[in-house]
């Protein structure tokens, strides 16, 4: 487990993926090393805008690998270089052992791409689009099977314009898979979807991985990365600031745990007094009025310690919640900024004026 900077060696041996095959096939499916990509700056100036400063990671076969970060961090540029859509200024990229910059045609057959905000002709039906894209590939997948897999079979004759956001997104995934790819790149899969559609889409991604497709998932949603990814990198301002499994990343922030509890108003003072004296407690945030939540931070053992101590004094909490660490906390810890997914260039929080 590492937080910044990323290891320069290709191997990230710490992965404890759920998928089989990672031990049998050590050859990475995707390998990115010190990738750098700049764009021309404003007209008249020689300064170039840096989209990707230095990004390295490797993806093993059968993984769902996440590229996480705020908008504008360089995620899409990174996968566009992988897909052979853009030429990198520096670093090396290998997809299935092939350099997509030098031989883009070689990767197109084996890599399925779902791009952000691509719209098809509004009159094309689901089935027409599938059969059209299938015809481009040497060994396409089974269209009927994919329509079933992505719950699109009953919408096969529906025109693109009449599909819901979730259905369009599912079609987009289906089109990325119709060439029977070994690697699928899914960019901002659930942006604009309602919560139910997002959860359904997540399940589909797992179904696709279970078919043996390695998945690169680009997202700015922390919860999505946490839920789906076997391993991930967090990219910020064109650099990898953390990488590992979601659990490793979360554990890396610090070892403290936080518990929130509510006790009956009559027991409020007794509870505060009891908790404050415990060895496992480092910090207590007491509410101004009794009956509100008390926040207790301490060691790993803070939860059992607090509950046991209260029980000894016959105080039964109305409600106890553990506050789990999330990838958002990881982002804050490694960048020193709050996570604002829409900030293209978030400034440090301390520099902000109120």
Partner 1 sequence: MTATTLTPSVAPARRSTGWRGFGVLLATEARLWLRDPGTVFFALVFPTVLLVGVGFAIPGMRTPIEDAPPPWLGLTAVSLYVPVVLAAAIATPALTTMPVYFATFREKGLLRRLSTTPMRPQGIVVAHLVINLVAVVVSSAVALVVGELVFGLPAPRNAGTVALAFVLGVASMYALGTLVAARAPKASTASAIGTLIYFPLLFLSGLWTPGPIMPEAVAQIGRLTPLGAASQAMTAGWFEPGFPTVQVVVMAVWTAVLLPLGVRLFRWS
39 in contact with partner 1 (CB under 8 A):
no
Please count the residues of this chain forming the interface with partner 1, following the rule CB under 8 A.
Answer: 45
Closer to partner 1 by Cβ: residue 177 or 241 = 177
End-to-end CA distance of the chain: 36
Question: Residue 185 CB, nearest distance to partner 1 (Å)?
Answer: 8
Question: Residue 316 CB, nearest distance to partner 1 (Å)?
Answer: 50
CA dist., res. 316 & res. 197, Å (int): 39
30 in contact with partner 1 (CB under 8 A):
no
Q: Given the structure tokens 């270089």, which residue do they identify?
A: 81
Angle value at C-alpha 229, between 228 and 232, nearest 5 degrees: 150
Q: Given the structure tokens 């089989």, which residue do they identify?
A: 20
62 in contact with partner 1 (CB under 8 A):
yes
* Residue from the set 66, 84, 166, 246 that interacts with partner 1 by CB under 8 A: 84
CA dist., res. 66 & res. 232, Å (int): 4
Closer to partner 1 by Cβ: residue 71 or 116 = 116
* Residue from the set 6, 74, 141, 246 that interacts with partner 1 by CB under 8 A: 141
Question: Residue 126 CB, nearest distance to partner 1 (Å)?
Answer: 13
Quick one: 304 exposed, middle or buried, by C-beta within 10 A (0-12, 13-18, 19+)?
Answer: exposed
Question: Residue 37 CB, nearest distance to partner 1 (Å)?
Answer: 15
Tokens of 230: 């076997």
CA dist., res. 236 & res. 344, Å (int): 10
106 in contact with partner 1 (CB under 8 A):
yes
Closer to partner 1 by Cβ: residue 128 or 328 = 128
Question: Residue 84 CB, nearest distance to partner 1 (Å)?
Answer: 8
Spatial neighbors of 25 by CB under 8 A, at least 6 apart, are 60, 61
CA dist., res. 250 & res. 109, Å (int): 37
Question: Residue 145 CB, nearest distance to partner 1 (Å)?
Answer: 9
182 in contact with partner 1 (CB under 8 A):
yes
* Contact stretch for partner 1 (CB under 8 A) within 39-47, 123-131, 279-287, 343-351: 123-131
**Could you tell me which of 5, 2, 55, 4 has the C-alpha nearest to residue 31?**
55
Handedness of CA 207, 213, 214, 217 (dihedral sign): negative
Q: Which residues are at the interface with partner 1 (CB under 8 A)?
A: 21, 27, 61-62, 83-85, 96-98, 105-111, 113, 115, 117-121, 123-124, 128, 131-139, 141, 179-182, 210-213
């Amino acid at each position: 487990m590492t937080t910044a900077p990323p290891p320069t060696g290709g191997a990230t041996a710490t992965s404890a993926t759920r998928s089989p095959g990672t031990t049998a096939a050590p050859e990475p499916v995707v390998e990115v090393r010190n990738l750098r990509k700049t764009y021309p700056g404003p007209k008249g100036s020689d300064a170039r805008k840096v989209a990707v400063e230095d990004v390295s990671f490797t993806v093993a076969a059968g993984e769902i690998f996440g590229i996480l970060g705020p908008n504008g961090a360089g995620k899409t540029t990174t996968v566009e270089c992988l897909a052979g859509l853009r030429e990198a200024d520096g670093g090396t990229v290998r997809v299935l052992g092939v350099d997509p910059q030098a031989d883009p045609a070689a990767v197109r057959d084996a890599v399925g791409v779902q791009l952000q905000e691509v719209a098809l002709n509004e009159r094309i039906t689901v089935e027409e689009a599938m059969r059209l894209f299938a015809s481009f590939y040497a060994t396409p997948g089974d269209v009927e099977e994919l329509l079933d897999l992505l719950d699109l079979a009953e919408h096969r004759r529906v025109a693109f314009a009449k599909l819901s956001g979730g259905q369009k997104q599912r079609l987009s995934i289906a089109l990325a898979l119709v060439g029977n790819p070994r690697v699928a790149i899914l960019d901002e899969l659930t942006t604009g979807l309602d919560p139910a559609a997002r959860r359904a889409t997540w399940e589909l991604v797992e179904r696709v991985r279970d078919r043996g497709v390695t998945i690169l998932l680009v997202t700015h949603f922390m919860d999505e990365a946490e839920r789906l990814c076997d391993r991930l990198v967090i990219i910020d301002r064109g650099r990898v600031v953390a990488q590992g499994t979601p659990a490793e990343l979360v554990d890396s922030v610090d070892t403290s745990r936080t518990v929130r509890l509510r006790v009956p108003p009559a027991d409020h003072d007794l509870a505060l007094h009891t908790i404050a004296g415990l060895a496992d407690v480092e910090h207590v945030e007491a509410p101004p009025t009794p009956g509100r939540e008390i926040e207790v931070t301490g060691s790993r053992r803070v939860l059992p310690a607090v509950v046991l101590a209260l029980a000894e004094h016959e105080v039964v909490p109305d409600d106890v919640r553990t506050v789990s660490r999330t990838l958002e906390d990881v982002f804050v810890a490694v960048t020193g900024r709050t996570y604002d997914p829409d900030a293209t260039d978030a400034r440090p929080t301390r520099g902000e004026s109120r």
